[in-house]
Structure 1
Amino acid sequence: MPFTKTVKSSAYYSRYQTKYRRRREGKTDYYARKRLITQAKNKYNAPKYRLVVRFTNRDIITQIIYSEIAGDKVFCSAYAHELPRYGIKHGLTNWAAAYATGLLLARRTLVKLGLDEHFEGVVDADGEFKLTKEADVDDEPRRPFKAFLDVGLKKTTTGARVFGAMKGASDGGLYIPHSESRFPGYDIETKELDADTLRRYIFGGHVAEYMETLADDDEERYKSQFQQYLDDGVEADGLEDLYAEAHLKIREDPNLEDPDKDTKGKDHWKAESEKYRLKKISREEKKANVQKRIAELRK
């Protein structure tokens, strides 16, 4: 068959519809977004809440978001850079940190709703697949806070970190519809989840195992790659206790203030900036400066 060049005529261009800007930029999957935000038409003022998980090079962003006509609104948020307050100072983008960030978001959301005492979730993470069920609130059954996972354009491969954040939020007391098929330790042949493997990831066991292997095989690279761990005295044997203690601290106070936070207000910094700002001089002062300069030159 001979090659025929496709000619785009004026009819093509006159009917061409440009896609949404964020679709052109490759930032939003509108096919998925439409299904995540569209609520049943027989409900009034009952938005769908989304558990939005995003990863950067140095941080993990988790948010509970709902949509309105004017745009999306953030109901609650938690970030991995808040984990140092609870004792997790290194590896803020790994699987265990994603779980801790999701747990922090869940507890913070339930505290805001006043449901933290009724929906505790899984206090001792054992790696088992569990969904949050309804509880009795004031002698009446109350369904848990429901949110749907929004992964954006992230690939949903088995064992991905995005499911670590989801698992943390689920164990924290939120109801997030999901199955066990995407967690680390799930066997696609037997269709079963190895709870021990999942628990190992939750408490940073995979990181500890890599640290031990690297220390035996290449000590120089081990000291280079885990220098910050070694400076703070964090070893492979103590990672599990570190994460377990952090989980307890998150449950005790999910809104813990940063001890290193700058407590000085705007007035203080405004006064500081005024010190170095040149003040505008009056017309009389300008004339006086000119006359002073003329007098100096005549000498």
Structure 2
Amino acid sequence: MAGGKVLPLKRRREGKTNYKKRLSLLKSGKPRVVVRISNNYITLQLVEFNGTDKTKFSYTSKKLSEFGWDYSKKNLPAAYLTGLVFGFICKKNKIEEGIFDIGVKRVTKGNRLFSVLKGCLDSGLKIPCSTDIFPSESRIRGEHISEDIPKKFDEVKKNILDKYGK
């Protein structure tokens, strides 16, 4: 029998899965709020594990145009609004709490991932986290991008709150 080298699992070699982190998230027994950011959009999924991962529902920032958001679908304000809508969808489906799963992304204080998390929390979803990781309110509203984005942000947020009732 050959005494060859043991290779790590394929998804670990490709840098796609951190199995130690995944196991700790699964042990919690709570559904995972999975966030993925592509070049154009932000996607959120509620994933439950019962032997295999099952995606209950998902929401993408592409759908923000339904509420009147015509700016970039991947910036900080869009991330917050996507998290807000997703949180309301979770509440509508009787999901009260979850665990935030960002995968193998690098964590930087105040980035888009935490803007999504802030939106989820503001909708009433219970996700354990520290409050000092969130971006400032002015950055969430988009004041650092343009002068007209905060007005549109407030309008879209009002449309979301009107639709999902808070």
Flag whether TM exceeds 0.5 (same fold): yes
The unaligned stretches of length 5 or more in structure 2 are none
Equivalent position amino acid for 2:137 in 1: R
Q: Secondary structure at the match of 2:133?
A: coil
The unaligned stretches of length 5 or more in structure 1 are 1-9, 40-46, 114-143, 185-197, 209-235, 255-299
Q: Counterpart of 1:145?
A: 96
Cα deviation per residue 1:27-73 (whole Å; 9 max; x = unaligned)? 1111100000114xxxxxxx32111111000010011111121x211
Query: Aligned partners of 1:30, 1:181: CA distance in 2, in Å?
Result: 27
Equivalent position amino acid for 1:98 in 2: A
CA RMSD of aligned residues (A): 1.6
Equivalent position amino acid for 1:84 in 2: S
Aligned-residue offset at 1:253: 2.6
Q: Secondary structure at the match of 2:15?
A: coil
Query: Aligned partners of 1:68, 1:24: CA distance in 2, in Å?
Result: 26
Q: Is the 8 A contact 1:107 1:250 kept in 2?
A: no
Say whether residues 1:155 and 2:155 are aligned partners: no
Cα deviation per residue 1:75-124 (whole Å; 9 max; x = unaligned)? 222111001111111111111110000001001111122xxxxxxxxxxx
Query: Aligned partners of 1:78, 1:85: CA distance in 2, in Å?
Result: 12
Q: Counterpart of 2:54?
A: 73
Aligned ranges 1:45-124 → 2 under 5 Å: 47-69=29-51, 71-113=52-94
Aligned ranges 1:278-293 → 2 under 5 Å: none
Query: Aligned partners of 1:31, 1:105: CA distance in 2, in Å?
Result: 27
Q: Share of identical aligned residues, percent? A: 32
Say whether residues 1:180 and 2:90 are aligned partners: no
Q: Is the 8 A contact 1:66 1:74 kept in 2?
A: yes
Query: Aligned partners of 2:19, 2:153: CA distance in 1, in Å?
Result: 37
Aligned-residue offset at 1:175: 0.5
Say whether residues 1:29 and 2:18 are aligned partners: yes
Q: Secondary structure at the match of 2:131?
A: coil
Equivalent position amino acid for 1:80 in 2: S
Q: Is the 8 A contact 1:76 1:105 kept in 2?
A: no
* Residues matched between the structures, number: 163
Query: Aligned partners of 1:84, 1:34: CA distance in 2, in Å?
Result: 36
Moved over 6 A (4+): none
Equivalent position amino acid for 1:202 in 2: I
Q: Larger Cα Rg: Structure 1 or Structure 2? A: 1
- Candidates 232, 235, 246, aligned match of 2:156: 246
Aligned-residue offset at 1:151: 0.9
Query: Aligned partners of 1:18, 1:249: CA distance in 2, in Å?
Result: 52
Q: Secondary structure at the match of 2:93?
A: helix
Q: Is the 8 A contact 1:103 1:168 kept in 2?
A: yes
Query: Aligned partners of 1:24, 1:38: CA distance in 2, in Å?
Result: 23
Q: Is the 8 A contact 1:149 1:176 kept in 2?
A: yes
Query: Aligned partners of 2:13, 2:103: CA distance in 1, in Å?
Result: 15
